[in-house]
């Protein structure tokens, strides 16, 4: 598979045939906001972003802090309407919430008054799944993420890794066609993080859902994804690189990082990303002064 910094030319990814629409398609999307410090001023977070995720494809997005990665994820979720551009889900225009997507936030969304089992059941119950069926599904997903024995525990009784597993089960129990993930493992220690990344890959390999994964960690982006999209520094952030990751699957995220191909991919992507990270850092220093 060829890879490089040039955008793809409409070629189908590993999960769809030529005639099928992508699971998620952002076309010329821009998001402009009122500047919180000056109501007369406007701030464009992302500009003219076109991005597709095929059915069954795992796409990671990397970029400097403040480049609009989470903004794009909120657009894909239907939580934010773009100022310009269009969003399509399996070939249909997105209107309102993206009900074919599950969203795993960076911050934990577990309800402290519910047990782990109750938290996984919550989305199913809100969707109208009968209680007995919701319980069976929730118990099955807790088992899949290794928490079968911890369903009766409350979030404060779980470790950080266990809470992330619960949140993952909560998202996947709804069986979404698209999974949106906003730096879900960034707060974990490196050992727990690698375990969670491998668990995510195993679950994804079994179900092959479309995944749009936001991360600051280039190693993580490459180890997990079929493609890595690089965003420029903001404001008016936009894609500046789209790299196919031709590492064989299944993968172990620790082992794959030692392979020559991983090292080559990392060097190629970092060559594009490095200048944007430095630009983003300079902007932060300027804003702080």
Q: Supply 33's token pair.
A: 């906001």
Going by pLDDT thresholds of 50, 70 and 90, the confidence category of residue 13 is very low
pLDDT surpassing 70 at residue 152: yes
Gyration radius of the chain's alpha carbons:
19
Phi-psi region of 113 (alpha: psi -120 to 50; beta: other; left: phi over 0): alpha
The Cα 133–Cα 112 span in angstroms is 23
pLDDT surpassing 80 at residue 5: no
Portion of the chain with pLDDT greater than 70, in percent: 90
Q: Taking CA 157 as the corner, what is the angle to CA 186 and CA 151, rounded to the nearest 5 degrees?
A: 95
pLDDT surpassing 60 at residue 213: yes
Going by pLDDT thresholds of 50, 70 and 90, the confidence category of residue 288 is low
User: Considering the chain, what is the average pLDDT of its residues?
Assistant: 89
The Cα 225–Cα 140 span in angstroms is 26
Check residue 125 and give its pLDDT.
94
- Residues 104-124 have a mean pLDDT of 92
pLDDT surpassing 80 at residue 266: yes
- Residues 22-27 have a mean pLDDT of 97
Q: Where are the domains of the chain?
A: 54-69+95-288
The Cα 73–Cα 51 span in angstroms is 11
The set of residues, in sequence order, having a beta carbon less than 8 Å from that of 255 and lying 6+ positions away, is none
Better pLDDT: 282 or 34:
34
What is the domain class of 54-69+95-288 according to CATH? Answer: alpha beta
pLDDT surpassing 60 at residue 220: yes
Q: How far is CA 183 from CA 117, 124, 136, 214, in A?
A: 23, 24, 29, 5
Check residue 286 and give its pLDDT.
66
Going by pLDDT thresholds of 50, 70 and 90, the confidence category of residue 285 is low
Among the ranges given (80-84, 159-163, 261-265), the one the predictor scored with the smallest mean pLDDT: 159-163
Going by pLDDT thresholds of 50, 70 and 90, the confidence category of residue 139 is very high
Check residue 65 and give its pLDDT.
83
pLDDT surpassing 50 at residue 18: no
Q: Edge-to-edge, what's the strand order for the sheet holding 84-89? A: 38-53, 24-35, 84-89, 92-93
Task: Indicate the pTM of the whole model.
Answer: 0.89
- Residues 200-211 have a mean pLDDT of 93
Better pLDDT: 114 or 186:
114
């Amino acid at each position: 598979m060829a890879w490089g910094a040039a955008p793809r030319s409409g070629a189908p990814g590993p999960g769809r045939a030529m005639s099928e629409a992508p699971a998620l398609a952002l076309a010329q999307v821009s998001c402009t906001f009122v500047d919180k410090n000056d109501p007369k001023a406007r701030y464009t977070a992302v500009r003219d972003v076109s991005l597709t995720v095929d059915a069954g494809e795992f796409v990671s997005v990397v970029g400097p802090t403040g480049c609009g990665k989470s903004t794009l994820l909120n657009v894909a979720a239907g939580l934010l309407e773009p100022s310009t551009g269009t969003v399509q889900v399996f070939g249909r225009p997105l209107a309102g919430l993206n009900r074919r997507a599950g969203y795993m936030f960076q911050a934990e969304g577990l309800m402290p008054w519910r047990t782990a089992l109750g938290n996984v059941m919550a989305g199913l119950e809100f969707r109208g799944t009968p209680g007995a069926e919701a319980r069976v599904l929730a118990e099955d997903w807790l088992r899949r993420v290794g928490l079968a024995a911890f369903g009766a525990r409350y979030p404060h009784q779980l470790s950080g890794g266990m809470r992330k597993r619960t949140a993952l089960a909560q998202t996947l129990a709804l069986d979404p066609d698209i999974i949106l993930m906003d730096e879900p493992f960034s707060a974990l220690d490196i050992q727990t993080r690698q375990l969670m990344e491998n668990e995510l890959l195993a679950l994804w390999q079994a179900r092959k859902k479309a995944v749009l994964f936001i991360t600051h960690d280039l190693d993580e982006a490459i180890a997990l994804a079929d493609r890595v999209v690089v965003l420029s520094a903001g404001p008016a952030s936009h894609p500046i690189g789209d790299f196919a990751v031709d590492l064989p699957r299944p993968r172990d995220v620790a082992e794959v990082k030692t392979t020559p191909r991983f090292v080559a991919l990392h060097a190629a992507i970092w060559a594009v990303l490095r200048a944007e990270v430095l630009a983003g850092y300079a902007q932060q220093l300027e804003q702080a002064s």
